[in-house]
Chain A
Amino acid sequence: MRRALLAWLSFGAATVALAFLALPVVAIFTRVPPGRLVRLLSSGVVTDALVVSAKTTLVAEALILLFGTPLAYLLATRRFPGRVVLVTLVELPLVLPPAVAGIGLLAAFGRSGLLGSTLDAFGLEVTFTQTAVVLAIALVASPLFVRTAIAAFEAVDPDLVAASRTLGAGPSRTFFRVALPLAGGGLVAGAALAFARALGEFGATIMFAGSLRGVTQTLPLAIYQEFSVDFDSALAMGALLVVVSVALLLSLKLILSWQPSRRTSVSLFARSS
Chain B
Amino acid sequence: MATLAADFRLALRSFELSLALDVERTVALVGPSGAGKSSVLRVIAGLARPEAGRVDLGGEVWVDVERRVFLSPEERRVGLVFQEYALFPHLSVRQNVAYGGKGRADELLERFGISHLAATRPGELSGGERQRVALARALAREPGVLLLDEPLAALDAHTKAAVRVELEEFLRGLDLPTLIVTHDYEDAVALADTVGVLVEGNLRQLGSPAELVARPADPFVASFTGANLLRGHAERLEDGLTSVRLESGEVVYSTDPARGRVGVVVYPWDVVVGRAQVEDGSALNLLGGEIASVTQIGNRVRVRVGPLTAEVTAASAEKLELVRGGTAFVSFKATGTRLVPLS
Contact = CB atoms under 8 A, between A and B. Distances in A.
A166 B90 contact: no
Contact of A168 (B88, B90, B100, B123): B100
Contacts of B84: 159
B73 A166 contact: yes
Interface stretch (B74-82, B204-212, B247-255, B325-333): B74-82
Interface in A201-243: none
Interface string B71-100: 011101011101010101110000000011
Contacts of B213: none
A254 interface: no
B46 interface: yes
Contacts of B47: 162, 165-166
B79 A166 contact: yes
Contacts of B233: none
A55 interface: no
B32 to A, nearest CB: 21
Contacts of B215: none
Interface string B44-82: 011100000000000000000000000011101011101
B74 A165 contact: yes
A253 to B, nearest CB: 21
A173 to B, nearest CB: 8
B25 interface: no
B37 interface: no
A167 B46 contact: no
Contact of B74 (A168, A177, A261, A262): A168
A262 B157 CA distance: 27
Given A163-B88, A166-B76, 17 more contacts: A159-B84, A160-B89, A162-B45, A162-B47, A162-B86, A163-B82, A164-B99, A165-B73, A165-B74, A166-B74, A166-B79, A167-B74, A167-B99, A167-B137, A168-B100, A168-B141, A177-B99
Interface of B: 45-47, 72-74, 76, 78-80, 82, 84, 86, 88-90, 99-101, 123, 137-138, 140-141
26 contacts: A157-B86, A159-B84, A159-B86, A160-B89, A162-B47, A162-B86, A163-B82, A165-B46, A165-B47, A165-B73, A165-B74, A166-B73, A166-B74, A166-B138, A167-B74, A167-B99, A167-B137, A167-B141, A168-B100, A170-B72, A181-B90, A182-B89, A182-B90, A261-B89, A261-B123, A262-B89
